[in-house]
C-alpha cells in the first residue's frame, strides 16, 4: 500500500513552506520576448536551415561572438531518448559558424558520468561531429573562477569556458523530470557546474535546492539562447528512465524563461506551477501575453507528455 504521506511530499511541502516564508514575490518581468516554434519531423532532415530560421525569427546577433553550445548529455540508453540528439548539435554548430561567430565550442559537464568523452561517444557525438574533440570542452574538469552570491552560497565556482562565452546556447532535450517537473533550457545549466569541485552528482545543487540552483545559474548566465530538441523528447519518469515521446519540433528564443514556458504549454504542463519558473518570474516572460510566438502556434502543437503521479497537479487545463 502506498503511504499517504511520502518523504518526497513532506520534503517538498517543508521546502515550499520555508520558501514562501523567506521569499517575497519576485518582481514580474515587464518586457516581451520572442519565441519561435518550428516543425522538424525527424533528425534526418536539414536541421541547419531550420536552426538558421529559428535564429532569424528571434533576431539573435551572432557575428564575432564566442559561442558555447551546451547540449544535454546525461547517460546513454539506446532504448530511449535521454540526450540532445547529435544531429541538432551538429546543425547548431554549422549554423552559428555560418553566421560568422568568432568561435563555436561545444561544452558539457554531465551530472553522473565522469567519462564525458566516452558518454559523448556512446551518444554518437564523435561520429556525428567531425573533429568532435577539437570543439569540445568537458565543463566538469575545466579551470574555474569564483562568482559571488550564488543562491545561498557566498562564493561558487564556475567553469572559465562558460564565464568567458559571449553567448551560451542551451540545447536541451524536451523532457519531464521527476524532481523539477520539466527539464528544458534553464535546468540544462546544471551541466555548467564543475564536477571537479562539486562531485558526480553535483550534490551541492540538491542541498541548495533544485529550483533555487536552476534560477541562480540563470541569474548568473544572462547572455543566452535556447534551441530545445523536441523532435523526440521524453515523458514520464524523466530525465533518464522515461519513454521517448515524439513532438516533432524545435523551440528557440533568447529568453529562457519564455522558451521553457512555451515548451511546458506544448507538453501540457502549466508553467505557472513549475517551481523554478515561478522563482524566475523577474527574469523572463511566463505569461503568454508577453511572449511573441513566431513560427508555429504552440497551442495547436500541444501534445501532452505523460507525468508521474507526483506531478499530476501541474497538468495544464484543457485550452489553457
Partner 1 sequence: MALKFSVRSSDILHMAEDYLRSRLDALRSNQNPDGGWGYFPGKRSWLEPTAYALLALYGEADSPAWQKGWRLLRSWQRDDGAWQPNGHIPEPHWSTALAVTLHAVHRVHDDAFRKGVSWLLSLSGAESRPLVRLFSLVLPSPTGHDPSFRGWPWRPEATSWIEPTAHALVALKRAAPQVRDAELSRRIVLGEGMILRRRCSDGGWNYGSKSALGIDLPSYPETTALALLGLQGNRDADLTAALRHAFHLWQDSRSRWSRAWLAISLRSFGTDLPVEPSEQPVARDLVLNALEVLAAPEGGFRHFRPEGIPS
Site string for partner 1, 125-154 (x = CB under 8 A): --------x----x--xxxx----------
Q: Can you name the residues that pair with 107 across neighbouring β-strands? A: 137
* Interface residue with partner 1, options 5, 27, 30, 78 (CB under 8 A): 5
Q: CA-to-CA distance for 108 and 201, rounded, in angstroms?
A: 14
H helix runs in the chain, sequence order: 7-22, 47-57, 86-98, 116-122, 125-128, 132-135, 160-163, 195-198, 203-208, 210-220, 256-267, 275-279
Q: CA-to-CA distance for 104 and 92, rounded, in angstroms?
A: 9
* Interface residue with partner 1, options 1, 7, 31, 148 (CB under 8 A): 7
* Interface residue with partner 1, options 16, 26, 118, 164 (CB under 8 A): 118
What residues between 84 and 113 interact with partner 1 by CB under 8 A?
A: 112-113
Smaller CB distance to partner 1: residue 4 or 30?
A: 4
Q: How many helices (H) and strands (E) does the chain have?
A: 12, 12
What residues between 210 and 269 interact with partner 1 by CB under 8 A?
A: 237, 241
Residues 6+ apart with CB under 8 A from 177: 183, 187, 238, 239
Number of residues that bind partner 1 (CB under 8 A): 34
**Grid cell listed for 46:** 536539414
Does position 198 interact with partner 1 (CB under 8 A)? The reply is: yes
> How would you class 257 by CB atoms within 10 Å of its CB: exposed for 0-12, middle for 13-18, buried for 19 or more?
buried
Site string for partner 1, 153-192 (x = CB under 8 A): ----x--------------------x--------------
Smaller CB distance to partner 1: residue 122 or 166?
A: 122
CA count, 13 A, side-chain hemisphere, 89: 30
Query: Least distance in Å: CB of 308 to partner 1?
Result: 8
Residues 6+ apart with CB under 8 A from 43: 85, 87, 88, 231, 232
Q: Interface with partner 1 by CB under 8 A: which range of 59-67, 101-109, 197-205, 294-302?
A: 197-205
Smaller CB distance to partner 1: residue 8 or 223?
A: 8
Q: CA-to-CA distance for 53 and 90, rounded, in angstroms?
A: 16
In DSSP notation, 12-33 reads HHHHHHHHHHHPPPPPPP-S-E
Query: Least distance in Å: CB of 318 to partner 1?
Result: 28
Smaller CB distance to partner 1: residue 96 or 150?
A: 150
Smaller CB distance to partner 1: residue 99 or 106?
A: 106
Does position 16 interact with partner 1 (CB under 8 A)? The reply is: no
Residues at the site binding partner 1, with contacts judged by CB under 8 A: 5-8, 10, 112-115, 117-118, 121-122, 133, 138, 141-144, 157, 178, 196-201, 203-204, 206-207, 237, 241, 308
Amino acid at each position: 500500500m502506498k503511504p499517504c504521506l511520502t518523504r518526497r511530499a513532506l520534503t517538498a511541502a517543508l521546502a515550499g513552506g520555508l520558501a514562501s516564508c523567506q521569499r517575497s514575490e519576485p518582481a514580474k518581468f515587464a518586457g516581451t520576448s520572442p519565441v519561435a516554434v518550428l516543425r522538424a519531423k525527424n533528425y534526418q532532415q536539414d536541421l541547419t536551415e531550420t536552426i538558421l530560421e529559428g535564429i532569424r525569427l528571434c533576431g539573435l546577433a551572432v557575428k564575432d561572438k564566442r559561442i558555447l553550445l551546451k547540449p544535454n548529455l546525461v547517460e546513454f540508453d539506446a532504448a530511449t531518448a535521454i540526450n540532445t540528439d547529435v544531429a541538432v548539435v551538429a546543425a547548431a554548430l554549422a549554423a552559428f559558424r555560418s553566421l560568422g561567430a568568432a568561435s563555436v565550442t561545444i561544452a558539457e559537464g554531465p551530472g553522473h558520468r565522469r567519462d564525458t568523452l566516452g558518454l559523448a561517444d556512446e551518444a554518437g557525438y564523435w561520429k556525428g561531429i567531425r573533429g568532435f574533440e577539437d570543439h569540445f570542452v568537458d565543463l566538469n574538469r575545466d579551470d574555474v573562477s569564483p562568482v559571488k552570491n550564488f543562491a545561498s552560497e557566498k562564493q561558487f565556482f564556475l567553469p572559465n569556458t562558460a564565464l568567458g562565452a559571449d553567448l551560451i546556447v542551451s540545447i536541451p532535450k524536451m523532457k519531464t523530470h521527476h524532481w523539477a517537473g520539466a527539464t528544458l533550457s534553464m535546468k540544462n545549466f546544471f551541466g555548467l557546474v564543475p564536477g571537479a569541485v562539486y562531485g558526480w552528482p553535483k550534490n551541492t545543487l540538491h542541498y541548495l535546492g533544485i529550483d533555487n540552483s536552476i534560477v541562480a545559474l540563470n541569474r548568473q548566465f544572462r547572455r543566452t539562447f535556447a534551441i530545445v530538441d523536441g523532435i523526440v523528447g521524453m515523458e514520464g519518469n524523466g530525465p533518464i528512465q522515461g519513454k521517448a515521446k515524439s513532438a516533432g519540433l524545435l523551440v528557440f528564443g533568447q529568453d529562457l524563461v519564455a522558451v521553457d514556458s512555451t515548451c511546458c504549454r506544448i507538453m501540457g504542463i502549466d508553467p505557472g506551477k513549475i517551481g523554478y519558473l515561478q522563482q524566475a518570474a523577474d527574469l523572463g516572460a511566463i505569461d503568454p501575453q508577453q511572449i511573441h510566438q513566431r513560427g508555429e502556434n504552440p497551442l495547436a502543437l500541444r501534445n501532452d507528455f505523460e507525468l508521474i503521479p507526483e506531478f499530476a497537479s501541474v497538468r495544464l487545463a484543457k485550452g489553457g
